Amino acid sequence: MLDPALASAVPGGVLVVDFGAQYAQLIARRIRECRVFSAVVPHDITPEEIAALHPSGLVLSGGPASVYEPGAPALNPAFLELGVPVLGICYGLQAMTLALGGEVARTGAGEFGKTPIEVTNRESLFRELDAEVCWMSHRDAVSRAPEGFTVTARSTDAPVAAMEHPGKGMYGVQFHPEVVHTPFGTDLLKAFLFDVCDCTPTWTPVHVIEDQVARIRAQVGDERVICALSGGVDSAVAALLVHRAVGDKLTCIFVDHGMLRHGEGDQVEEAFGEHFHVPLVHVRAQEHFLSHLAGVTDPEEKRKIIGREFIRTFESESAKLGGVRYLVQGTLYSDVIESGSRTAAKIKSHHNVGGLPEDMTVELVEPLRQLFKDEVRVVGEELGLPERMVWRQPFPGPGLAIRIIGEVTAERLEILRSADFVLQEEIRRAGLYRELWQSFAVLPAVKSVGVQGDERTYAYPIVIRAVTSDDAMTADWARLPYDLLERISNRIINEVPGVNRVVLDITSKPPGTIEWE
Ligand code: XMP
C-alpha cells in the first residue's frame, strides 16, 4: 500500500500509475504545480487499493518502448471501471487502447522530439489549447481508437495522437504533456484536472506541515529524537518540522568535519542554536578528520575515511545523549519513488556523508517523504529557514576533501575555502547563484610559476567549476560572463595567498563528472 502519509493526501488528488518510465515522477510534479496533490503508484496496485484512496483522477504514465515487448507491464482493465476519470499518456494511451479493444500498430517509423500536431476536433480537451507542436517519444502508435472514442488530434506518424470518450471520462494522448517541450502541456493537464476531474487547485507543499507535525507527534510520543544536520536544505527542513512537533525532545548533531565551506558551521549554529533554539550539539572535529586523511590521495579512500569517521563521531555523540529511539532523515519523495518502496523504509543504508550504522536500533522519522526538492524549499521558506540554507546548491558530503586533488592538508583547505568564498560571493552578486546547479572552486595540488610584482611565484592554481543541470545525471558547463570571470580571477589572485593562476573548467558531464574526484 501507499505510504499512509501520502494516502491521506490523495482524496481529491490524482494518482499517477507508473508503467516504468522516469516520466511518472515528472507527471506527479507537474500536477502538484497545478496545486493538486499527486502521488505515484506502481502499476500492480490493485483496483481496491486505488478505490480506497478516493482519487479524483488517474494518469497512466509512459513506459517501455512497446506494449508488445515481452514482460511489458500490463494495464489492469479494472482500473478503467472504477468510475474515476483516466488520462493515458504515451504507453498509458496504448495500454488503454488495447484494454478497450482498439488497435496498436508497430508503425516502424516512430516519432521522437518536437513534432507538429493537428487538432482534429476542438469540441474536446483541446477546446482552449493552442496546440501546434508537442514532444513525442514512441515507436508503436494507436492505429484504431476503441469503440465510442473520438480521435481529437493526429500527427504524421500517429493517426491517433489524442483520443477521448468524455461519457466514460477517458482520455489519452500519444505525446508527453509533462515535458516543457510540449508548450501547451500544462494547460492540457489543467483541462484534465479541472474540467474533467473537477479538482480544486488548493494544494501547496505548505499543507504538509500541519499534517506532518501531527504525524511526528503520534509516531514519537515522549521519546528522544536525534537528527544529523549537514548544512543542506533537506536535513534542515526535516529537523525544523520535527522540532515544531516535539520541541526539545529533538537534539540535532552537527558534525563539522572541517571540509565545509567558509561560514557554514556558523550558519548552522546561528540558524538552529540561536534563532530556532533547537538543542544543538556542534562537534568540531576538524583535526580528527584531518589526521585520518593525512597522506591519502585516492578519492574513494577519502570518501571512505570521511564516511567511517562521520559515523563514529555521530554514534559516540548520540550515545552521550542516551536513550534515543528515533532518527530524523531528510528522505525525499524522489528517493521513495526511485527505491520503489511501497511501505515506509526502515534504516536507510546511505547517508549524505557516508552510511549510518546498520545495527543502529532506531526508528526513522522521515517528514519529507511526500515532497519533491523544490517543494522542500517552499516548506523551508515557510518555516523561516534562512534564504542561504533554503537555496544552497548541492554540496557533497565529503565536502572540500574531494575538491582538493591530492592530499588534504590544513593549508590547502584554507586556500580552497578562501578562493571558494570569493567565487561564491561574485556568483551571488552577479545574480547567478540560483541559476547554476553548482558553482565552486577546485584546488589541484600542483604548482606553477607566476610573477607578481617583481617576484617570481610558485603556487597553486584554482579551477573555476560552474555547471547547469536538472538532476546531476548530466550537466553542461555554465557560460559565465567574461567580466565575471575576470573579477573572480583578479580577486582570488589578490586576496588568496598561495594562488597564482585561475583556470576555467569547460567540460560537460559526460565526459567529465561535476566534481573533480
Ligand atoms: P559527479 O561528480 O558524480 O556528482 O558528477 C554528481 C552530484 O553528486 C554530488 N556528489 C556527492 N554527494 N557525496 C555526496 O553527498 C559524495 O561523495 C559525492 N560525490 C559527488 C556532486 O556534488 C554532484 O551534485
**Catalytic entry in 138, 176, 257, 351:** 176
* C-alpha atoms less than 13 angstroms from C-alpha of 307 in its C-beta half-sphere: 17
131: phi then psi, degrees, rounded to nearest 5: -105, 105
What pLDDT score was predicted for residue 107?
Answer: 73
347 close to 359: Cβ distance less than 8 angstroms: no
Residue 34 annotated to the active site: no
Average pLDDT over residues 66-83: 93
Ligand 1: which of 309, 515, 516, 517 to mutate, judged by most atoms within 8 Å of the beta carbon?
515
Ordered DSSP codes for 384-452 = T--HHHHTPPP--TTGGGGTEES---HHHHHHHHHHHHHHHHHHHHTT-TTTSSEEEEEEES--EEEEE
- Look at domain 205-390 and name its CATH class: alpha beta
Note whether 10-196 and 205-390 share their fold. Answer: yes
Ligand 1 centroid to Cα of residue 396, in Å, is 5
Contacts of 16 (CB under 8 A, 6+ apart): 24, 27, 28, 31, 38, 39, 40, 41, 58, 59, 61
Third-level CATH fold of 10-196: Rossmann fold (3.40.50)
C-alpha cell at 160: 491517433
Question: Atom of ligand 1 at shortest distance to CA of 395?
Answer: 22
Third-level CATH fold of 410-504: GMP Synthetase; Chain A, domain 3 (3.30.300)
Nearest-CA residue for ligand 1 atom 16 is 396
Average pLDDT over residues 159-164: 97
What pLDDT score was predicted for residue 352?
Answer: 37
C-alpha cell at 279: 538543542
Nearest-CA residue for ligand 1 atom 6 is 472
Is the whole model's pTM more than 0.95, yes or no?
A: no
* Residue 341 in this model has a pLDDT that exceeds 50: no
Nearest-CA residue for ligand 1 atom 11 is 396
**Each residue of 262-283: pLDDT tens digit?**
999 999 999 999 999 999 999 9
**Each residue of 2-42: pLDDT tens digit?**
777 778 888 899 999 999 877 898 999 999 999 999 999 99
* Residue 53 in this model has a pLDDT that exceeds 70: yes
List residues near ligand 1 (CB under 6 A). 303, 352, 394, 396-398, 438, 472, 509, 513-515
**Catalytic entry in 111, 178, 366, 375:** 178
Any bridge partners for residue 326, and if so which?
225, 363
What pLDDT score was predicted for residue 360?
Answer: 58
- Residue ranges of the domains in the chain? 10-196, 205-390, 410-504
Angstrom distances, CA of residue 232 to CA of 251, 254, 397, 411: 17, 11, 10, 25
Question: Atom of ligand 1 at shortest distance to CA of 475?
Answer: 5
